[in-house]
Amino acid sequence: MDLLRFTTSGSVDDGKSTLIGRLLYDSESIFIDQLQALQRASKHRGSEQLDLALITDGLRAEREQGITIDVAYKYFSTAKRKFIIADTPGHIQYTRNMVTGASTANLAIILVDARQGVVEQTLRHTIIATMLQIPHLVLCINKMDLVQYSEDRFYEIVHAYQEAIKKLQVKDVYYIPISALHGDNVVYKSDRMPWYTGKPLLTYLEEVPIALDINQDIARFPVQYVIRPQEDAYHDYRGYAGKIISGAFHEGQAVSVWPSGWQSTIDRIEYAQQAIASARAPQSVVILLKDDLDISRGDMITPADQPPTLTQDVVATICWMDSTPLKTGDKLLLQHGPAVVRCVVKHIAYKININSLSQEDAGGSLQLNDVARVHIRTAKPIAIDPYAVNRANGSAILINETSFNTVGACLIEEA
Amino acid sequence: MSRHPYDFDYLDYLESEAIHILREVAGQFERPALLFSGGKDSITLVHLALKAFRPGKFPFPLVHIDTGHNFPEVLQFRDALIDRIGERLIVRKVEDTIKQKNLEPPKGKLASRNFLQAYTLLDTIEEFEFDACIGGARRDEEKARAKERIFSVRNEFGEWDPRLQRPELWNIYNGKIHKGENVRVFPISNWTELDVWHYILRENIALPAIYYAHTRKCLVYEGQLVAVSPHIQIEPDDVIVEKTVRFRTVGDMNCTAAIESQARTTEEIIQEILQSKISERGATRIDDKFSEAAMEDRKKAGYF
């Protein structure tokens, strides 16, 4: 049994909360007391039917205002997989939240209202999902009950979407006609749409192959912590603790250490104090090297024949997440895994219109939720890969030097 | 142990993520602490910390905020665990906070000190200048928790503001804070109750005996079973029964309800949870029922 993380995105009234509620309800992932609370809450709201949307409705402020704030995480499992849902709202701070939810997702569900068809938001969701390199997309055409379960309408929307995304580099899209309200093609195959020969949503979520979503070819090991026991028995023990973020390592492998560029050989890989011959992403392990080097937190170990790009000049697509605008020349902290370096924004090349992908002049500053191509200079070299090649080593966050808030998401394009 | 990528089990994924988070705490903070309640979630955290830091010592002490209303079995278990792993334990008592601050001790039949824990915790954080507190909270426990970050920044008063949370992207955790602030860190945020039990089974982790079915005298209170102990008031017309029960969480003796159960092993507990389908807080936390937003309020006030 493995684990799939997915994100759901949509705008107000597209039935997103109902879809998640339906998925949890029909897969029998709701506990009895939650169901009772749901019945009470539905009644309280004057609804005769069970309002499945209330399942994902979280904080009091949201209940009062009837809106969703921020990203909420939901969990359920079937016999085949464990699922983590990052539920992101469709209104204010939309981009910031969707980028956050999408950053860890294997798959994105994009909802379309069958009556409305493809709208601006549909493309925006697709562009963000593609930008964040979510490997799999599912376009759920919802509210099919309101278009008489029409096959023609379904294909009309599918074709319009395919036409609209021609210019984008969308890898893998699956199309499903559903009614979240009535449960058609969510968990169970609908007999009201016999013309649909594909899988219901849950079956697709259970079966889509995800093992290759992590780059399995390029090995990267950022050092988080150095284990040096203060005991005689471990006098010479110097273990580099970290998580393999991509690829695989093995005992006896020739490795390089970055940013120093020192060479060594893997003496031993340990997991729970047991020596193991090899390990691969996403395992957390301890690596011991043959040579006594001065390696510390923030350094990166890679195979000697697979060096990363070591650079102080980074070109990146960033999503600005702070209400204070970013200006050319601003100094920030850049956190890349465990490595934190100071940096300066040298140049804002252009803003990216996330509804159309067109490039616009930024005029030297970025507002909250803007997406832009920027040139960054770091105070020290960092060991990176392009995001498109290795998501795990091509991502970084920007931190305000005085407030310490996380103010930007950084997708490294090239060095 | 070479693995094919397809073999990576969800428990391996969750374990690796939790170890990564624990090591981020070790790498980013000067004075972290692990909040230890003696419950299965904090025991799981200790097990994960052993995997993260051995053969080294933990880079943090264990901290127990003692309400004085503990199950004796849990305290015995705690002390035996500390002996076995040889790590440092700090205990701070709610009783002492009540005396020092001249607080009104809670009254009433069940007299829960649960909400007072927050005071003692904040005092302890100040006393030791902890900059990060690792806790065993999980996002599936409660709606307010579903939105909390893995690194959750608190102000000087320990308060959580759901609207001002830092975005948390990829697996990059920003633990930078100002003096006086601290971060609550939740390494098993993404685990569900069943995940924890499956992990306890797989790793053969020992738990306090009260988690498994045993015979106990209980007070029947508003349809729930409360362990008979010196910490509750028994009145003449109270109904006391002797039942085979177990506990699904180990809070205070007077605010944690028992459930009737015959499950004497971890396997049997997993079977029982799958069949009963009553989520853990709902079944056993008496103090959450008072208002729908109960947890949100306590969270904002610094309770985890």
pLDDT tens for each residue of B124-152:
999 999 999 999 999 888 777 777 889 99
Say yes or no for a CB contact (<8 Å) between A3 and B13.
yes
- For a pLDDT cut of 70, what percent of chain B falls above it? 83
Most B CBs within 10 Å: which of A1, A2, A88, A278, as the mutation test of the B interface? A2
Residue type, A173: V
CA distance A147 to chain B (A): 34
Out of A73, A103, A230, the one facing B170 most closely (by C-beta) is A103
Q: Closest chain A residue to B166 measured between Cα atoms?
A: A406
Nearest to A273 among B8, B55, B59 (CB): B55
Q: Please judge whether A99 and B176 are an interchain contact, meaning their C-beta atoms are less than 8 angstroms apart.
A: no
Statement: residue B208 has pLDDT above 60:
yes
Buried b vs exposed e over A110-121: b needs ≥16 C-beta within 10 Å? Answer: bbbbbeeebeeb
Give the integer Cα–Cα distance in Å for A27 and A29.
Answer: 5
CA distances from A179 to A20, A116, A149, A185, A243 (A): 12, 14, 9, 7, 41
Residue B7 pLDDT more than 80? no
B73 CA: distance to closest CA in chain A (Å): 28
Give the model's pLDDT for residue A237.
Answer: 94
Contacts B12 to A, Cβ<8 Å: 283
- Judge: B169–A395 Cβ closer than 8 Å, yes or no: yes
Spell out which residues of chain B touch residue A336, defining contact as CB-CB under 8 Å. Answer: 172
Angle A343-B132-B124 (CA atoms, 0-180°, nearest 5)? 145
- How far apart CA B285 and CA B255 sit, in angstroms, is 6
Which among A225, A239, A284 has CB closest to B16? A284
Instruction: Look at residues A263, A395, A388 and name the one whose alpha carbon lies nearest to residue A339.
Output: A395
pLDDT at A161: 95
Distance from CA of A90 to the nearest CA of B (A): 16
Chain B residues within 8 A of A300 when measuring between CB atoms: none
Q: Do residue A397 and residue B172 have CB atoms under 8 angstroms apart?
A: yes
- CB < 8 Å to A74, chain B: 146
**What are the pLDDT digits (tens) for B54-73?**
999 999 999 999 888 888 99
Residue A388, min C-alpha distance to chain B (Å):
14
Q: Are B16 and A243 a contacting pair, CB within 8 Å?
A: yes
Q: Is the ipTM of this complex over 0.90?
A: yes
- Enumerate the residues of chain A whose CB falls inside 8 A of the CB of residue B13: 2-3, 282
B21 with B185: CB under 8 angstroms? Answer: yes
Counting Cα atoms < 13 Å in the Cβ hemisphere of A149 gives 14
Find the closest chain A residue to B191 by CA distance: A75
Chain B residue numbers touching A216 (CB-CB < 8 A): 5
Residues of A in contact with B166 (CB under 8 A): 405-406
- Intra-chain end-to-end CA distance of chain B, in Å: 38
Q: What is the mean pLDDT of residues B182-191?
A: 95
Asked whether A111 and A14 are in contact (CB, 8 A), the reply is yes
Residue ranges, chain A, pLDDT below 50: 67
How far CA B83 is from CA of A231, A332, B40, B53, B77, in Å, comes to 18, 46, 18, 17, 10
CB atoms A243 and B20 under 8 Å: yes
Which structure tokens are listed for A279?
Answer: 């390990």
Check pLDDT > 50 for residue B289: no
Q: Which helix (H) or strand (E) holds B51?
A: helix B40-53
* B-chain residue closest to A95, CA distance: B167
